[in-house]
Amino acid sequence: MKRLYFTLLLGILTYSAHAQQDIFREDPINSPEIHEDHTVTFRIKAPDAEKVSVTGSLDADKGFASITYDLEKGEDGIWSFTTPELPSEMYRYHFTVDGVRTVDPANAHAIRDVGNLSNVFIVGGGQADLYKVNEIPHGTVAYRWYNSPGNDKKRRLAVYTPAGYESSTTDYPVLYLLHGIGGDEEAWLGSGRAAQIMDNLIAEGKAKPMIVVITNGNVAQDAAPGMGSAGFVKPVFMLPHTMDGQFEATFGDIMKFVEDNYRTENTKAGRAIAGLSMGGFHTANISLYYPDTFDYIGLFSSALGVRPPNNGVTSPVYQNKDDKLKRQRDNGYKLYWMGMGIDDMEMIYKGNADFRKQMDGIDMQYEYHETQGGHTWNNWRDYLVIFAQRLFQ
Amino acid sequence: MKRLYFTLLLGILTYSAHAQQDIFREDPINSPEIHEDHTVTFRIKAPDAEKVSVTGSLDADKGFASITYDLEKGEDGIWSFTTPELPSEMYRYHFTVDGVRTVDPANAHAIRDVGNLSNVFIVGGGQADLYKVNEIPHGTVAYRWYNSPGNDKKRRLAVYTPAGYESSTTDYPVLYLLHGIGGDEEAWLGSGRAAQIMDNLIAEGKAKPMIVVITNGNVAQDAAPGMGSAGFVKPVFMLPHTMDGQFEATFGDIMKFVEDNYRTENTKAGRAIAGLSMGGFHTANISLYYPDTFDYIGLFSSALGVRPPNNGVTSPVYQNKDDKLKRQRDNGYKLYWMGMGIDDMEMIYKGNADFRKQMDGIDMQYEYHETQGGHTWNNWRDYLVIFAQRLFQ
């Protein structure tokens, strides 16, 4: 085969490239290079640069906090830096070259998180093996559009169905999985690696086969930026209609679509809901507003303390929440689970502490799981791993 | 709502950001800015840079060939350049800052094409309206894994089912859509905007509702880089097992999966196959190797002519091709369509000319459509628009 490749390469190289697609460039730099000892070398060719740094979720001792390291310039104009040994995780990073933020030109794998592209890599051999695609049965990920009469539009969501769903005839329980502010229906599948986590947990027998429905909590959008009618708009982390009750109030449109279109266990025992940050706020409110609907509730770094009182929002979703909480307690549920990083933003940490105090005050059961780190995907992936194993048992 | 946002922003800004996810940064630069008159301004803040340029598919007069423009530095350290008026198209571009290739840090929308990330934007008001998400019924895009006994592995593909598929009971025709060398099952949905094209053509009544199956032609992979068991590997545009007959020989595994799992018209009249570049080469060969199977064959900038004779490949797929071609002629078909850019690589242009000559020599029918430009997604999107309208009529 070698000869064919050389012939084709020659043909390409000897021909003017300007009229061809930009597919033939292969960056000769190896970056990131993950070494056997789990150190990682970053490299970028920048002969004319004065200063190059890498910023990423690389501070493993501090719960994968963001840290910046300077790269060192080699004689060939290639800058490099090798990290300390890194534990098994999925990492994100970007370079800054003379003050300009850039993805690693040698690493084509970048994930958009709200408005920022970051490169990613995985160090295996531990927890992050759950984030890898392994040679096991895989579920299906489908991007579908559902009718939301409550928002007077068609909206997009993602549905994970576990391996075997299509060839079986049984009903499946459903986990609704909600993103944070500025996220969308792609976030849990990108940075969150939700499909890989579910595939791996189910294949290992650690989680029950379940459908996972990944929604878009910004009802001002019909779909993620670039995939909706607004076009390739600039993603912002604050949008109207994210915390005004409208998403929660119209969540019934989503449940109706899912239960009409999939073989679902349409019982409280067959429904779970969880979300990160704003999605945790949504989760708490949806589980109050739709009484006796969910047996499993998961709040991941939930944005509970961010809502000031009397801010002009009049949604019935946020009315009489104390009474609704007592109703939820009385109706009962199997698991109310909260995950929180000790380095999270103070108002969020405090908001959750206050909520736990409120629950304690009315003898309402929950489980609280505190981890290292802050408001990070490292924690949210980890929380999903823990929470998913507790569902539908 | 403003007050809530300010409160939350304040909370974020006054708190150390290192332990939080990198979602709160919003690049204040507006780039690209698409003006009313269809000129486009690129901007990047790089106060310390000596030279900044933008390279992209911006040479509209030359079939959207790649062109590089220098940006001009403003007093605020923001470099900018405004293009001439651009016709309606989907464009790709990247910046080069002092010799370092970078995506536009203000534009979160980038698509991977083989090993390179490029930013994208759409200028509407014409052809590219077909590449937009419009407020019309949308089909479903599902990423599924199928069993390929011929490759002894599970492999991933994407299936577009048109709006209404799930709620109907009728059978649908199928278009198999193949990528080029170095591409994968994500390429036609990313750069190719195949889902948007099909949604729009079907909604306008210009194409029949059909299933579109988007395959991965590199049988050395189980899935696209980052989504397969090889992990976040570096995508390369040359892989073994892309042009050795193995993909074509095991294409039956794909058809079996699709026809077993979807409501398909399992007739020659209900099957179409098309591909770009290497995928056009695959298409030609699959349509020969599976006789009397496809009534519609589309070759988009097909990589005919790149295969030197006697290169050690012994696949039965490539044996007796002259005889197979006569058999294909005799069996008949409804459409054999070839698209080609006049500025394509010489060996590809000539390979197609030679193939047409061969077809002429045996009185075999085809349609040939020559366009401006070269080996580009601009052409491939355009060819899909044309070809899809001719199918299953």
Cis previous bond, A28, omega within 30: no
Cβ distance A63 to B19 less than 8 Å, yes or no, reads yes
**And the tokens for A21?**
């697609």
Q: How does pLDDT run across A285-299, given as a tens digit for each residue?
A: 999 999 999 999 999
For residue A238, give the nearest of B5, B105, B343 by CB distance: B5
Cβ distance B137 to A145 less than 8 Å, yes or no, reads yes
For residue A374, give the nearest of B20, B27, B113 by CB distance: B20
For residue B345, give the nearest of A20, A231, A236 by CB distance: A20
Is pLDDT of A114 > 90?
A: no
Tokens 């059961």: give the residue. Answer: A365
Whole-prediction pTM value? 0.95
**Do B162 and B129 contact (CB within 8 A), yes or no?**
no
Closest among B311, B101, B380, B149 to B246, alpha carbons compared: B149
Q: What CA–CA distance (Å, rounded) separates A362 from A163?
A: 41
DSSP one-letter code for A287: H
pLDDT at res. B114? 87
Closest among B150, B240, B132 to A232, alpha carbons compared: B132
Cβ distance B229 to A133 less than 8 Å, yes or no, reads yes
Measured between beta carbons, the chain A residues lying within 8 angstroms of B238 are: 5, 8-9
Q: CATH: 2.60.40.10, 2.40.100.10, 2.40.50.100, 1.10.287.1120. Which one for A16-124?
A: 2.60.40.10
Closest among B283, B325, B328 to B301, alpha carbons compared: B283
Average pLDDT, integer, range A44-69: 96
Q: Is A382 helix (H, G, I), strand (E, B) or coil?
A: helix
Q: Which of A23, A61, A97, A157 to mutate to test the interface with B (most CBs of B within 10 A)?
A: A23
The verdict on domain B133-389 having CATH code 3.30.360.10 is: no
**Do A69 and B123 contact (CB within 8 A), yes or no?**
no
Q: How does pLDDT run across B155-210, given as a tens digit for each residue?
A: 999 999 999 999 999 999 999 999 999 899 999 999 999 999 999 999 999 999 99
pLDDT at res. B24? 62
Average pLDDT, integer, range B315-327: 94
Least confident of A2-11, A279-288, B54-63: A2-11
What separation in angstroms does the CA of B224 have from each of A104, A200, B187?
19, 18, 9
For residue B306, give the nearest of A11, A145, A235 by CB distance: A11
pLDDT at res. A19? 78
The confidence band for B20, taking pLDDT boundaries of 50, 70 and 90, is confident
pLDDT at res. A306? 67
Q: How does pLDDT run across A383-393, given as a tens digit for each residue?
A: 999 999 999 99
pLDDT at res. A309? 47
pLDDT at res. A28? 84
A195 → chain B, closest CA residue: B227
CA-CA-CA-CA torsion for A303, A304, A309, A315, nearest 10 degrees? 80
Tokens 């030279």: give the residue. Answer: B51
A330/chain B closest Cα distance in angstroms: 32
Average pLDDT, integer, range A88-107: 96
Cβ distance B140 to A145 less than 8 Å, yes or no, reads yes
For residue B3, give the nearest of A9, A97, A311 by CB distance: A311
B134 → chain A, closest CA residue: A229
Q: What CA–CA distance (Å, rounded) separates A214 from A186?
A: 8
Is pLDDT of B12 > 80?
A: no
Q: How does pLDDT run across A169-202, given as a tens digit for each residue?
A: 999 999 999 999 989 999 999 999 999 999 999 9
CA angle B216, B118, B55 (to 5 degrees): 135
pLDDT at res. A311? 61
Measured between beta carbons, the chain B residues lying within 8 angstroms of A97 are: 97-98, 100, 102
Q: Which of B2, B16, B23, B302 to mutate to test the interface with A (most CBs of A within 10 A)?
A: B23
Is pLDDT of B243 > 90?
A: no
Average pLDDT, integer, range B300-320: 79
Query: How many residues in total does chain B contain?
Result: 393
pLDDT at res. B311? 61
B20-128 belongs to which CATH class?
mainly beta
Per-residue exposure over A79-110, b if at least 16 CB sit within 10 Å of its own CB, e if not: bbbebeebebbbbbbbbbbbbbbbbbbbbbbb
pLDDT at res. B322? 94
DSSP one-letter code for A316: G
Query: How many Cβ atoms sit within 10 Å of the Cβ of residue A53?
Result: 16
DSSP one-letter code for A20: B
Measured between beta carbons, the chain B residues lying within 8 angstroms of A235 are: 108
Is pLDDT of B241 > 50?
A: yes
Average pLDDT, integer, range B52-79: 96
Is pLDDT of A16 > 90?
A: no
Asked whether this chain's domains A16-124 and A131-389 adopt the same fold, the reply is no
Cβ distance B18 to A65 less than 8 Å, yes or no, reads yes
The confidence band for A240, taking pLDDT boundaries of 50, 70 and 90, is confident
Q: Give the percent of chain A with pLDDT over 70.
A: 92
**And the tokens for B325?**
């071609």
Is pLDDT of A12 > 60?
A: no
Least confident of A50-64, A227-241, B151-165: A227-241
Is pLDDT of A1 > 80?
A: no
pLDDT at res. A241? 78
Cβ distance A23 to B180 less than 8 Å, yes or no, reads yes
Closest among A301, A292, A267, A97 to B49, alpha carbons compared: A97
Cβ distance A141 to B137 less than 8 Å, yes or no, reads no
**And the tokens for A244?**
């005004």
**And the tokens for A191?**
């940075």
Least confident of A151-165, B14-28, B356-370: B14-28
Q: CATH: 3.40.50.1820, 2.60.40.1180, 2.60.40.10, 2.60.40.420. Which one for A131-389?
A: 3.40.50.1820
For residue A120, give the nearest of B47, B48, B232 by CB distance: B232
**And the tokens for B286?**
């699959």
Least confident of A232-246, A313-327, A376-390: A232-246
DSSP B144-173: EEEEEGGGTEEEEEEEEE-TTTTT--S-B-
Tokens 């930009």: give the residue. Answer: A22
DSSP one-letter code for B319: T
For residue A345, give the nearest of B15, B44, B240 by CB distance: B15
Where do the structural domains in chain B lie, given as residue ranges? Answer: 20-128, 133-389
**Cα end-to-end distance, chain B, whole Å:** 52
Cβ distance B9 to A238 less than 8 Å, yes or no, reads yes
Tokens 């939350």: give the residue. Answer: B8
**Do A144 and A157 contact (CB within 8 A), yes or no?**
yes
Q: How does pLDDT run across B358-389, given as a tens digit for each residue?
A: 999 999 999 999 999 999 999 999 999 999 99
B330/chain A closest Cα distance in angstroms: 32
